[in-house]
């Protein structure tokens, strides 16, 4: 089943995208800062979400891990 048709998998993909973009932006800020527009701007926006909402994102990651561990 594709992640587009399973809501929990879609949320997992979005959380992983936000966390990965934030981590890459902390390591190499110039890569994402020069690509604020266009298709690569999605990663810059995800990095901003991860930086500004980091407590909520981390709580969502913990909740997703618990739900996957206990099997829905």
The better pLDDT of the pair 35, 72 is held by 35
- pLDDT recorded at residue 72: 59
- pLDDT recorded at residue 17: 92
Do 50 and 15 meet the contact criterion of CB atoms below 8 Å apart?
no
Closest CA to 55 of 11, 8, 29, 18: 18
Residue-wise pLDDT tens digits, 3-61: 567 888 888 889 999 999 999 999 998 888 888 888 888 999 999 999 898 888 888 88
């Amino acid at each position: 089943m594709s992640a587009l048709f399973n809501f929990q998998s879609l949320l997992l993909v979005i959380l992983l995208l936000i966390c990965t973009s934030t981590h890459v932006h902390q390591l190499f800020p110039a890569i994402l800062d020069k690509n604020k527009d266009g298709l690569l701007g999605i990663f810059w926006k995800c990095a901003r979400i991860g930086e500004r909402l980091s407590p909520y994102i981390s709580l969502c990651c913990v909740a997703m891990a618990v739900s996957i561990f206990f099997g829905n």
